[in-house]
Structure 1
Amino acid sequence: MSTNAQPRPSARTRRGFCLCCLMAAGFTASGRWLTPRQAYAQAQGIVDGIRAAAVETPITLHRLRGGIGVLEGSGGNIAVLGGRDGKLMIDSGITASRPRIEEALGSIGREPIRHLVNTHWHFDHADGNAWMAEAGATITAHRNTRKYLAMMQRVEDWAFDFPPAPVTALPTRLVDGEEVMRLNGATMTLREYSPAHTDSDLSVFFAEADILHTGDTFWNNAYPFIDYSTGGSIEGTIRATEANLAGSAESTIIIPGHGLVGTRQDLRDCLAMLVDVHGRVAELKRQGRSLEEVIAARPTAVHDARWGGFVISPQFFTRLVYMGV
């Protein structure tokens, strides 16, 4: 397992999570663009693909600073802080990864899991809630995370209906606005975003270590998913990126929801990309262009080399932006 003390360079070819086994929707094997209908059909397999990948994908621990590490390989990036108050987890990943997560946690220390924070409700960040709660964790989350986990919830862009989570998987401590937690010698500020990736997003800032976990409001070197089914929006995603910049410094280590641990410059680059694509798509839509015509115009083209090689393809991201302008 890696024991890096500082964030790694933002290598654009590496994908540090279990989705790496999935082919980015949007291109055929011959490299030709898919139609919107074909791209949407591929997107429908995302949930099953993530779960299948989690069965075998190894978990890699990257040690940062202040006793905080990141586990990659089970859905979203999971942060962990050990100590006498028990382990604190930020997100719980996919249940199928449990044996490998427990093995990785054992290398940090013998303390049990006592605290879990969900950055939002999506299954690749909260599917492991039940087993972590059964292991002794108290779950803290945005009030809407509990709401969505407690009910059948459909994500239209994945064409998938998520059943209600077990009662044990539901958060019992709910954040409204901002909350400060002090555990294991660390001060953590949990802040509610305005609706962004979803309307259940939280950030977690570790003050002494100067580390910010953004959840899925930031995907490093990948176009982000925006869940309109549960309150997300492109404009909200832009505002969240601005909030992440305002809440960080040049020295801050940024833990994204997906992708490599990054820096404040990565946030700047993400904001520039989001604003540019939003502006291009909005202008084309104002001209009366249909979705198919906007996709054909390739408004993301100048950004695709860095941001377009992962699960959310240029076509899929263009459609997400088009829906919100």
Structure 2
Amino acid sequence: MNHSQMLHSSRRQFLRSAGLAAAAASLVPHSIFGQQADMVATARAAAANAKITLTPLRRNVSLLSGSGGNIAVLNGPDGKLLVDAGFSSSRAHIEAALNTLDRRPIRHLIDTHWHFDHTDGNEWMHKAGATITAHKNTLTHLSQPTTIAAFAYTFQPAPAAARPTDIVADDSILLANGSTVVLHHYDPAHTDSDLSVNFIEADVFHCGDTWFNGFYPFIDYSTGGSIDGMIAASSLNLARTASSTIIIPGHGPVGTRAQLKEFHDMLATVRGNVAALKAKGMALDAAIAAKPTAAFDAKWGGGSRKPDDFVGLVYQGV
């Protein structure tokens, strides 16, 4: 099957036939956020020489890590299908890593959400021949100035060539390289534009930034995210995976369903702790001082989103 023969259908059709940032905060050194003059340029500079690692996962699915969010690669005769695009400044390193598989071109790109550490490479991948698929809200945010209040930063519209043209409003599928690729749309969680990507035959599940494996997540309230949405998305991820599933988080190492369950339970417990403090009338500073994440900080507090920051995000949403 060539790229033009890839099939795109609704979730209902799939079920009938088959029977079946932010993000930027987790990738860019924490010190960068004192340099708000041009966060995008600073992040690109930091990523320009980042080491890109290619890791085979199962069947014809691999992981590219090191530039922005985790990138999944489905390789085969139809050309490469990628999930997320990383930073544009990593292009040479990404291409070199992909070429260790073979010289087939990138024919399809799926954005898990709009954040620039997942979409900054969209333009070059599109110009190299990739069709870009994303949720409709990803197109909206990439087409206009979009502010993330937590970063005190407004992202300017992406170039026209970086914007998705294959728009998903509900669950849908792609058929490529002998694989069934199921796209699930979440209700607002990390953002209002989140998709997961399920490689059915390989039993590999990319859940974007609805999972940060090993550290506290960023929740983008400015574009629809919420702590309750993150917990709900984690529940859906658990329902859509099994003990055999290889799960790709938006950030952090590839993991298992058991690790995903730990993340879900941490979110739910911290939410309950913070909500109880807020219900007592505690202001944010007092809630932070009460250390409602203390039981989890050793395991989850080592990333860019520090415990106090995470309490602030949760407090905002309860």
Q: Same fold (TM over 0.5)?
A: yes
Structure 1 residues 101, 110: CA separation in 2 closer, same or farther (over 3 Å shift)? same
In 2, the alpha carbon distance for the partners of 1:264 and 1:149 equals 32
In 2, the alpha carbon distance for the partners of 1:20 and 1:231 equals 21
Q: What is residue 187 of structure 1 aligned with on the other side? A: 180
Q: What is residue 10 of structure 2 aligned with on the other side? A: none
> Would you say 1:282 and 2:275 are equivalent positions?
yes
Structure 1 residues 309, 43: CA separation in 2 closer, same or farther (over 3 Å shift)? farther
Displacement after TM superposition at 1:24 (Å) = 8.2
In 2, the alpha carbon distance for the partners of 1:278 and 1:19 equals 21
Amino-acid identity (%): 53
Aligned equivalent of 2:286, options 284, 293, 304: 293
Maintained 8 Å contact 1:18/1:53:
no
Maintained 8 Å contact 2:25/2:305:
no
Aligned equivalent of 2:46, options 37, 53, 68: 53
Displacement after TM superposition at 1:18 (Å) = 11
Q: What is residue 215 of structure 2 aligned with on the other side? A: 222
1:135-162 Cα offsets, whole Å, 9 max, x none, are 0000000000000000011111011111
Displacement after TM superposition at 1:215 (Å) = 0.3
Aligned equivalent of 1:161, options 154, 158, 163: 154
In 2, the alpha carbon distance for the partners of 1:153 and 1:21 equals 19
Q: Which structure 2 residues correspond to residues 32-111 of structure 1 after superposition, within 5 A?
A: 50-111=43-104
Aligned equivalent of 1:115, options 108, 118, 135: 108
Superposed CA RMSD: 2.0
In 1, the alpha carbon distance for the partners of 2:241 and 2:87 equals 29
Which blocks of at least 5 consecutive residues in structure 1 are unaligned?
A: 1-16, 26-39
Displacement after TM superposition at 1:176 (Å) = 1.4
Q: What is residue 37 of structure 1 aligned with on the other side? A: none
Displacement after TM superposition at 1:298 (Å) = 1.0
In 2, the alpha carbon distance for the partners of 1:93 and 1:199 equals 20
1:25-57 Cα offsets, whole Å, 9 max, x none, are 9xxxxxxxxxxxxxx868999756533320111
SS state of the match for residue 58, structure 2? coil
TM-score (norm 1): 0.87
Displacement after TM superposition at 1:129 (Å) = 0.3
Q: What is residue 122 of structure 2 aligned with on the other side? A: 129
1:243-287 Cα offsets, whole Å, 9 max, x none, are 000000000000000000000001110011000100000000000
Aligned equivalent of 1:306, options 299, 308, 312: 299
Q: What is residue 16 of structure 2 aligned with on the other side? A: none
Q: What is residue 6 of structure 2 aligned with on the other side? A: none
Structure 1 residues 153, 220: CA separation in 2 closer, same or farther (over 3 Å shift)? same
TM-score (norm 2): 0.89
Maintained 8 Å contact 2:27/2:68:
no
1:159-181 Cα offsets, whole Å, 9 max, x none, are 11111001111100111111111
SS state of the match for residue 295, structure 2? helix
In 2, the alpha carbon distance for the partners of 1:87 and 1:273 equals 36
Displacement after TM superposition at 1:67 (Å) = 1.0
Q: What is residue 258 of structure 2 aligned with on the other side? A: 265
In 2, the alpha carbon distance for the partners of 1:157 and 1:46 equals 13
Q: What is residue 22 of structure 1 aligned with on the other side? A: 29
Maintained 8 Å contact 1:18/1:73:
no
In 2, the alpha carbon distance for the partners of 1:295 and 1:44 equals 29
Q: What is residue 9 of structure 2 aligned with on the other side? A: none
Structure 1 residues 128, 259: CA separation in 2 closer, same or farther (over 3 Å shift)? same
Structure 1 residues 209, 188: CA separation in 2 closer, same or farther (over 3 Å shift)? same
